C-alpha cells in the first residue's frame, strides 16, 4: 500500500511539472509570434480569475448540478456512522454528508479543503453495499479529501483552462490583429514562431486534456490505495468497484463537467478506444487487481 501511495504521489507531481512546462512554452511561443511579451501573463491572469469563483463555490455548483441533498443519522444511520468513523481514522473533521436519489451506485467528494468538504453517495449504492463495501467507498472518498485532491485537481483545471484560453486568444488575435515585424529585422523569426503558434493552438488544448486525464487517473489509484490503508481491508473497495462496474443503471444527473468527481465514471457509454485516452478514471479491472494484490 505504501509503495502505491508513494509512487502515485511522485507521478502526479511529475505530470504537474510537465503541465507547467507546456503552459510556459506556449506562452513564450505566442508572445514571440505577436512580438508582445504581455500575452502570457495576461492570459494566465484572466484564466485564474475565471476559475477562482469555481474554486470557492464548486461544492454548491456540484450539489445543484447533481441534485444532492443533505442527510442525518436518523435517515441513514449506517452511512453517517461510517463517514464519522473513517473521518476519525483519517484524523479529519467529519465532512458534510449528502445523498443523490438515484438507482445507479456511485459516490463523490468535493470541497476546497478538509474543513469545507462533503461526501455524497447515491441511494442505489447504499441499497446494494454491505458494511465493508460501503466503508471501502467512503475510505476512497475520504482519501481524496485527506490528500487535497480537490485542491490539486483545481490547480490542474486552472492550468488546463489557461492553455485553452491562450489558444483561443491566439486564434482571435490572428483575425483581429495583423502581426507586426520588429524593427530589428526579426520578421523571419517572428513568422517561424507564428507557424509554431498555429500548430500549438491546435495541439495544446488536446495535450492539456490528455495530461489532465492522466493526472486524474493517478489520483484515483492513489485514493484506492490510501482508502484501503484507512479501512485496512482492500477487498471491501474491490468488491464495491466490481458491483459498480456491473450495474447497468446510468446516473441520471451525470454530465461531463462533473464525471471526474465520481468514484467510477457515471457516463456508462463514454466512447470507444480513442475516447478512453481522455478518461478521468482508470479501468476498474486494473483498480481491482491492484487492490487485491495488497
In tens, the pLDDT along 46-77 reads 666 666 666 677 788 889 889 999 999 999 99
Domain ranges of the chain: 2-293
- Cα R_g (the chain), whole angstroms: 22
Q: Is the pLDDT of residue 274 over 50?
A: yes
Q: Which residue has the cell 462496474?
A: 245
Nearest to 199 by CA among 181, 180, 178, 174: 174
Q: What is the pLDDT of residue 117?
A: 93
**3 in catalytic set:** no
Give the separation between CA 150 and CA 126, rounded to whole angstroms. Answer: 24
Which residues does residue 110 pair with via DSSP β-bridges, in sequence order? 118
Please tell me the predicted confidence (pLDDT) of residue 138: 97
Model pLDDT for residues 117-152, shown as the tens digit of each residue: 999 999 999 999 999 999 999 999 999 999 888 777
At 97 the three-state DSSP class reads strand
**d(C-alpha 290, C-alpha 222), whole Å:** 11
Long-range contacts formed by 35-44: CB under 8 A, 24+ apart: 35/179, 35/180, 35/181, 35/182, 35/186, 35/190, 39/166, 39/169, 40/166, 43/162, 43/165, 43/166, 43/169, 44/162, 44/166
Per the CB < 8 A criterion, the answer to whether 146 and 226 are in contact is: yes
Question: Could you tell me the pTM of the whole model?
Answer: 0.78
**Which of 133, 141, 146, 220 is the catalytic position?**
141
| pLDDT tens readout for residues 227-250 | 999 999 999 999 999 999 999 998
Amino acid at each position: 500500500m505504501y509503495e502505491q501511495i508513494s509512487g502515485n504521489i511522485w507521478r502526479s507531481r511529475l505530470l504537474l511539472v510537465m503541465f507547467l512546462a507546456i503552459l510556459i512554452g506556449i506562452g513564450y511561443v505566442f508572445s514571440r509570434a505577436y512580438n508582445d511579451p504581455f500575452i502570457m501573463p495576461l492570459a494566465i491572469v484572466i484564466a485564474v480569475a475565471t476559475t477562482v469563483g469555481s474554486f470557492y463555490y464548486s461544492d454548491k455548483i456540484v450539489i445543484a448540478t447533481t441534485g444532492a441533498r443533505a442527510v442525518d443519522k436518523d435517515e441513514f444511520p449506517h452511512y453517517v456512522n461510517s463517514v464519522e468513523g473513517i473521518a476519525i481514522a483519517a484524523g479529519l473533521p467529519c465532512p458534510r454528508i449528502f445523498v443523490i436519489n438515484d438507482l445507479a451506485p456511485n459516490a463523490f467528494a468535493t470541497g476546497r479543503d478538509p474543513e469545507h468538504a462533503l461526501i455524497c453517495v447515491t441511494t442505489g449504492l447504499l441499497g446494494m453495499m454491505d458494511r465493508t463495501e460501503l466503508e471501502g467507498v467512503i475510505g476512497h472518498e475520504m482519501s481524496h479529501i485527506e490528500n487535497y485532491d480537490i485542491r490539486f485537481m483545481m490547480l490542474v483545471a486552472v492550468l488546463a483552462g489557461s492553455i485553452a484560453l491562450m489558444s483561443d486568444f491566439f486564434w482571435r488575435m490572428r483575425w483581429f490583429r495583423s502581426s507586426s515585424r520588429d524593427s530589428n529585422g526579426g520578421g523571419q523569426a517572428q513568422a517561424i514562431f507564428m507557424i509554431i503558434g498555429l500548430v500549438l493552438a491546435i495541439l495544446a488544448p488536446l495535450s492539456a486534456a490528455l495530461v489532465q486525464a492522466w493526472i486524474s487517473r493517478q489520483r484515483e489509484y492513489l485514493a484506492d490505495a490510501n482508502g484501503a490503508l484507512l479501512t485496512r481491508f482492500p477487498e471491501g473497495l474491490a468488491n464495491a468497484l466490481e458491483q459498480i462496474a456491473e450495474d447497468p443503471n446510468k446516473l441520471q444527473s451525470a454530465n461531463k463537467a462533473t464525471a471526474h468527481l465520481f468514484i467510477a465514471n457515471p457516463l456508462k457509454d463514454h466512447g470507444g478506444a480513442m475516447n478512453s485516452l481522455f478518461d478521468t478514471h482508470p479501468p476498474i479491472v486494473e483498480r481491482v487487481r491492484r487492490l487485491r494484490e495488497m
